[in-house]
Structure 1
Amino acid sequence: MITGSNMHLLKNALDASSMRQEMISSNISNVNTTGYKAKRVNFEETLKKAIDGTGMQARHPNHFGASNFNAVRPQTVEQKGNRINENGNNVAIDTEMAELSANALYFQAVSAQLNNQYGMIRSVLR
């Protein structure tokens, strides 16, 4: 089904992938920075909560909420659970490289879905 909401959701997913790429690059570049804490992009968990109906609900038109899955935006959060080095840094280069690979696959999958959506639109317009 071709809807504006599908396109909007895919756009938000691409935005999340782009933000994630920036965060991973920032984490890698700060691997030796004293006191630096690794950052992650949270999008899929918030989207799942919105789809399940367990996300925040907007009760007024001026309120921000994520009850509608199209309202879900990527957010940057500090990573928890990594071992903290003697300089207070918690960046693990192996984790960052794995996240980089996972994000590349995620981007390819979302891009393919977006291309499929555009392909359906093109076929309808012919």
Structure 2
Amino acid sequence: MFTGSNYNLIKGALDASSMRQEMISSNISNVNTPGYKAKRVDFEETLKRAMDGSAMKSTHANHYGVSDVMSVSPKVKAQTGNRVNEDGNNVAIDTEMAELSANAIYYQALSTQISNHYSSIRSVLR
């Protein structure tokens, strides 16, 4: 069964997946825009660092950082490492299509977990 924290983690992952879908769509739509830099959503790596204790801790309300696992939220970052075209654009359509497929599978797995959880609760209540 999900606890409140597990539910919130899956909700955060669903939010990250939704944001990732938007970024991938934006990257694809700007594939021919001169100077456009591809963007990525960072969530899973930050969550992993928070869970293993290697994330930077927030020591004040105005500081950036992770105070605990529940405070991890998706962030949009510029993608680095791609080949930059002559026009300054670094969007690789093959990469974007692969990311799109992987994100769809990821979102489906998360939504299936939530759905199964609520199905089990409904069966207990009957």
Both proteins in one fold, TM over 0.5:
yes
Specify every segment of 5 or more residues in structure 1 that has no aligned partner in the other structure, as ranges.
none
Bigger shift: residues 51-60 or 11-20: 51-60
Query: Hey, what does 2:24 align to over in structure 1?
Result: 24
TM-superposed deviation, 1:103: 0.2
- The percentage of counterpart residues that share the same residue type is 70
Flag as ranges the 4+ runs of structure 1 deviating above 3 A: 60-65, 123-126
Specify every segment of 5 or more residues in structure 2 that has no aligned partner in the other structure, as ranges.
none
| TM-score after normalising by structure 2 | 0.91
Aligned partner of 1:119: which letter? Answer: S
Query: Hey, what does 2:82 align to over in structure 1?
Result: 82
CA RMSD after TM alignment: 1.6
Query: Hey, what does 1:59 align to over in structure 2?
Result: 59
Query: Hey, what does 1:41 align to over in structure 2?
Result: 41
Check 1:62–1:5 CA distance in 2 against 1; reply closer, same or farther (3 A cut): farther
The 8 Å contact of residues 2 and 120 in structure 1, kept in 2 or not, is answered as no
Query: Hey, what does 1:93 align to over in structure 2?
Result: 93
1:69-108 Cα distance to aligned partner (Å, 9 max, x none)? 1111000000000000000000000000000000000001
| TM-score after normalising by structure 1 | 0.91
SS of the residue corresponding to residue 40 of structure 2 reads: strand
Give the paired residue count. 126
Check 1:119–1:25 CA distance in 2 against 1; reply closer, same or farther (3 A cut): same
